[in-house]
Amino acid sequence: MTRAGQRYRNHKLARAAGVITLAILSVGAGAPDTSLDAAFTGRWRIDTASITGDVKPSVFRVGTGVFERDDNAPVKADGQPHPIPSDGYVDEQSITIESDHVVKEIDKIRGKLAYTVAYVVSPDGNTLTWHVASYTNPTGQAVTGETVQRRVGAPVKDAHLLSGTWVRVSVTSDSKNDTILKLDGKRFSSRTDTGSGFDAIIGGPPVKFDGDNSGVRAQITRPRPDLIVETDLSVRGTIDDVFSMQMMPDKRTIHATGVYGPENRSTSFYMHKQGG
């Protein structure tokens, strides 16, 4: 999952401030600021309540033994693994309808477990909670998160309660999603406790993004002392997303912005430094 997308898989949230051109034209611009190096270095946690962006509603069609989400191809909801068109992150899916209120999904890539999702509809049928666990990190540990959505319109007649259109209300995440940054002059790394991330040279070549099954490579620039820009490149060399981190004056808050996907969707949120 790419940087802006891995913020939560539901489903590539996520991942701008017109930084693509700035990143390309400004490699290495600005003199290093050692106090800002120290400010960037540390453990950072997303303020999930601050997440904004042009996130599309989720649309589900579940009934007669078939599961379909958004514009993805329908999958038989028989609990058995079925191949699906690969996006680099998932190429096999199992869907189980456990009850009128619960549907479970298991995603694999090249035979390895990638994600599990439990879609749980509230008793009144108006709230949907995604319970997501990601296993794509180098350690294989479960990294969990939840997304809560509310229904738009009435339930679909004669269909599973999951069917319909849902808009995001909130997102929560466990501490294994915290980002650990290290900045020392030209050397920059961004990782999680489970090893996902990379080590790069600012202004240097793209580097492997550990824990990203699609083969994304990350390239880092620093247009200003207070701004670090990560450009994620696909295996084809095209830009998957651009993720920028601007240090705020208090040096304990980062304003993160991203542009991602073929439609150049955007997201924005704040990250807060943990500990001293």
Instruction: Give the pLDDT score at 34.
Output: 66
pTM: 0.84
Which one, of 197, 150, 177, lies nearest residue 47 by Cα?
Answer: 177
Copy the structure tokens of residue 6.
Answer: 């891995």
**CATH number for region 3-53+177-274:** 2.40.128.20
Report the pLDDT value the prediction gives residue 171, as an integer from 0 to 100: 92
What tens-digit pLDDT sequence spans the chain (276 residues)?
Answer: 333 343 333 333 333 222 222 222 233 334 455 689 999 999 999 999 999 987 889 999 998 899 999 999 999 999 999 999 988 899 999 999 999 999 999 999 999 999 999 999 999 999 999 999 999 999 999 999 999 999 999 999 999 999 999 999 999 988 999 999 999 999 999 999 999 999 999 999 999 999 999 999 999 999 999 999 999 999 999 999 999 999 999 999 999 999 988 888 899 999 999 997
Report whether 60 contacts 164 (CB < 8 A). Answer: yes
pLDDT value for 222: 97
Tally Cβ neighbours within 10 Å of residue 252: 14
pLDDT, tens digit, 9 for 90 and up, residues 111-158: 999 999 999 999 999 999 999 999 999 999 999 999 999 999 999 999
Give the residue carrying structure tokens 């542009």. Answer: 259
